[in-house]
Structure 1
Amino acid sequence: MKKLVLGTLLMAGMLCHGPAAAAVEYKIVTASERGTYIKIGRDLAQFVAPSADIQLDALPSAGSAENVRLLRYEPGIKLALVQSDVYQSFLDIAAGGNAAARDMIAPLRVIMPLYNEEIYFVVRADSERNFIHEIKNAKINAGESGSGTALTSATLYRLMFGEAMPDASASYLSNEEALAKLVTDKTLDVVAVVAGQPAKLLVDMKPESRKLIKLLKFDPGHPSSKAVLKTYFQASVRASNYPNLLTEDIAGLAVKAFLVTYDFQLKDTESHLRGMARSLCQNFSVLQEKGHPKWREVELALPDLGRGWFYYGPTTRELRSCIAGEPARKRVVSRAKPSPPPAKECPQQERILGLCK
């Protein structure tokens, strides 16, 4: 009897003083192992997620377009990094009647805007091209199929020249494969790269690289620039970030990066994501001090979004209350409106986004 009583008391003690619940396992999809997105994802995993009782795994991917699909349909993926032009393209195509695009983008929500990501167009050092607006009819590696880079390349080309990038002169290789072809067999004329500076791919280049390749400049005074700057932003590619490639800063272009989630309704998921937002706010100075240099360009704010874009209500309330130093209050979150019936055509933009059947 004594042993039974003692065993019962010990069991009760274990129940009362047992270990804390394990952290929930979430995933964030980023981009290439050599890009900026995966560093940002790992920073969130290291400096933000633990305080929200989340074990966050930063996964590499083909880029923003694939991230939208993975976030929408892949179990366990709760966060994604997505370029603004990719997100907007899904919205535009959905509004045009594409049911696949509508189903994919309608339930996605923005947590917060992050930073501008630079767009690079790389050519051989002996190329006659010096400016981005000179890439017309060139053999261009637009970026991997399904990536944000490929969509950015196609969008920029269309904005500059009023027509789609010719399929016959476009390829969709990885950055590494494309750069090798650019300087060896010369079957490519231009390689497009999208990555926040300092981009590891360019940082790791040796001093002799300057004899092999160069970056094209953006000319804000060119007639095509007005249309381009309605979607993209002017940027400066700094020589201090790429001393083996540049002797001086050059004018460039950039696209905005966003931290995105799904419109989760489950209370447990909603609670953890609120904790993630609170921790992001509280550890923001740590991110800027110890994280990737791009964190220093991020503003802890929730500006108005474009038409068809929506913030995720639970994280929005948490971030706003943290920024203001007030307790969070619940409010109604607006929903995306249904779009018209599906369209029949499948142009280049939709092919890149993987929306063709």
Structure 2
Amino acid sequence: MKRKSFIQMLVASALFSPIISSGCSNNQSQTSDSDTELDTSDPELSAPDAASENQSLILTTATTGGTYYPVGVAIATLISQETPLKMNAIDSAGSAENIQLLKNQEADLAILQALFSEMAWSGKGQYEGQPEQQFRSITMLWPNVEHFIVKSKAVETGNIQDLENYKGKAFSIGKRGSGTETSGKTILQGLGFDVESDFRPEHMGYSESAEAMQNGRIEAMNIPAGPPASAVSQTYASMGADQITVLEFTPEQLNKINGVFPVWQPYTIEAGVYPNQQQPIQTIAQPNLLAVHPDIDSGTVYQITKTIYENLPKLKQFHQATQEMDLNAAISGLTTPLHPGAIQYYQEKGLTIPEHLSIA
């Protein structure tokens, strides 16, 4: 991988703070027919357990206040403990930067929003006419749940259209170039909002957004993350459930949003997930996925995939978002082709690989 300067930066930063923490271990398998065959004459695929000894891999995530970073740390720790591989999880600005890091060969793996993987692979949205395909899918991880949070004083219906009452107000839409910003703008575009002209956009990470909401700097914020998101928990705990509202989505609103990019599905945040949250919240979610640079050898990717799915019990102890991980849902919602190493593991477990995911 051509990432000398990036690794030098990581080594320097590692002198001040460790990147990996926590740990994980056990098993999972399912059955179903397979319709995709691999060429087992490939030596890498005929001996998939032979991951390179002492290989060091970089997994890029997102800001530390969301879900990507702690789940990335859990995955990196699991791989480092259970295989000959060494993996470091690092924070980043999110999906957009992660795709660029993969393209530049400054990262080996990344967590991505399905929206970003679809836009980049197809050359649409912010990648219009310039597709980026220097990545392959390994697995769906967990649903990226939309939390559009506003101060309750102007809430009427309780759904996303109430943002009409916050026009002209300060709204934290996410860091510039982040997946948070892009997904938020895409959702609101589908509902007829223009973030730049309708609001006073602020570009903050999750923790900073929560603090700004508490001190009165902003009136609304966008936090897409697997529940419970620490920044959302922090806001509920400090402000009280009667002072803030997580806006809901109607089926009609979801249809409008999916008219832009069809990657979202209904999602219920059950009561009690956040402090003093008395009622379930009907929102929407898109898949998050683990992606890898296509040049990583098949034996290594097979080993990563196998280790994740044969050690789910401990991984699920690390963060509640991983509770929804399951081998049967491993390729659910994915639109980007799978890496051959991941395909082989899934075929061994009897999963059917759709044609659109088997194109190398």
Which TM class, normalised by the smaller chain length?
A: 0.7 to 0.9
SS at 1:311 equivalent: coil
The residue number in structure 2 matching 1:297 is 324
Q: Distance in 2 between matches of 1:86 and 1:213?
A: 33
Greater shift in the superposed pair: 201-210 or 52-61: 201-210
State the number of aligned residues.
295
Greater shift in the superposed pair: 176-185 or 290-299: 176-185
Matches within 5 A, 1:325-336: 334-335=359-360
Unaligned runs of at least 5 residues, structure 2: 1-51, 352-356
Matches within 5 A, 1:81-92: 81-92=111-122
Query: Would you say the 8 A contact 1:122–1:216 is kept in 2?
Result: yes
1:228 to 238, 242, 257: 257
Matched, 1:281 2:324: no
Q: Distance in 1 between matches of 2:223 and 2:118?
A: 19
TM-score between the two structures when normalised by the length of structure 2: 0.73
Query: Would you say the 8 A contact 2:58–2:89 is kept in 1?
Result: yes
Residue 116 (structure 1) shift: 0.7
The residue number in structure 1 matching 2:163 is 135
Give the counterpart letter for 1:35 in structure 2: G
Larger Rg: 1
Write the deviation string for residues 4-61 of structure 1: whole angstroms up to 9, x where unpaired: xxxxxxxxxxxxxxxxx96221110111212211121122122234333111111011
The residue number in structure 1 matching 2:108 is 78
The residue number in structure 1 matching 2:146 is 119
Write the deviation string for residues 65-95 of structure 1: whole angstroms up to 9, x where unpaired: 11111122143x2111001112222234359
Write the deviation string for residues 169-209 of structure 1: whole angstroms up to 9, x where unpaired: 322122333344444344x3311111101111222346451
The residue number in structure 1 matching 2:274 is 242
Matches within 5 A, 1:1-357: 23-75=54-106, 77-94=107-124, 98=128, 101-102=130-131, 105-128=132-155, 130-136=158-164, 137-139=167-169, 140-161=171-192, 164-167=194-197, 169-186=200-217, 188-205=218-235, 207-210=237-240, 213-221=243-251, 223-229=252-258, 230-244=262-276, 246-264=277-295, 269-288=297-316, 290-301=317-328, 302-303=330-331, 309-321=336-348, 323-324=349-350, 334-335=359-360
Query: Would you say the 8 A contact 1:61–1:67 is kept in 2?
Result: yes
How much identity, in percent, do the aligned residues show? 17
- Cα 1:324–1:34 change in 2 (3 A) is same
- Cα 1:141–1:207 change in 2 (3 A) is closer
- Cα 1:181–1:124 change in 2 (3 A) is same
TM-score between the two structures when normalised by the length of structure 1: 0.73
SS at 2:207 equivalent: helix
Write the deviation string for residues 123-168 of structure 1: whole angstroms up to 9, x where unpaired: 123233532122143532211112111011100011111x543356
SS at 1:166 equivalent: helix
Give the counterpart letter for 1:249 in structure 2: P
Query: Would you say the 8 A contact 2:305–2:342 is kept in 1?
Result: yes
Give the counterpart letter for 1:148 in structure 2: G
Q: Distance in 2 between matches of 1:83 and 1:190?
A: 22
Query: Would you say the 8 A contact 1:122–1:213 is kept in 2?
Result: no
Query: Would you say the 8 A contact 1:183–1:212 is kept in 2?
Result: no
Query: Would you say the 8 A contact 2:227–2:321 is kept in 1?
Result: yes
Give the counterpart letter for 1:286 in structure 2: K
SS at 2:266 equivalent: strand
The residue number in structure 2 matching 1:17 is none
Give the counterpart letter for 1:169 in structure 2: R
SS at 2:359 equivalent: coil
Q: Distance in 2 between matches of 1:41 and 1:115?
A: 12
Q: Distance in 2 between matches of 1:314 and 1:144?
A: 33
Provide the alpha-carbon RMSD of the alignment.
Answer: 2.9
Q: Distance in 2 between matches of 1:184 and 1:138?
A: 18
Q: Distance in 2 between matches of 1:37 and 1:227?
A: 27
Query: Would you say the 8 A contact 2:343–2:358 is kept in 1?
Result: no
Q: Distance in 1 between matches of 2:285 and 2:126?
A: 26
Unaligned runs of at least 5 residues, structure 1: 1-20, 326-331, 336-357
* Higher RCO (CA < 8 A, seq sep 6+): 2
SS at 1:117 equivalent: strand
Give the counterpart letter for 1:32 in structure 2: T
Q: Distance in 1 between matches of 2:300 and 2:138?
A: 13
Query: Would you say the 8 A contact 2:63–2:206 is kept in 1?
Result: no
Query: Would you say the 8 A contact 1:24–1:55 is kept in 2?
Result: yes
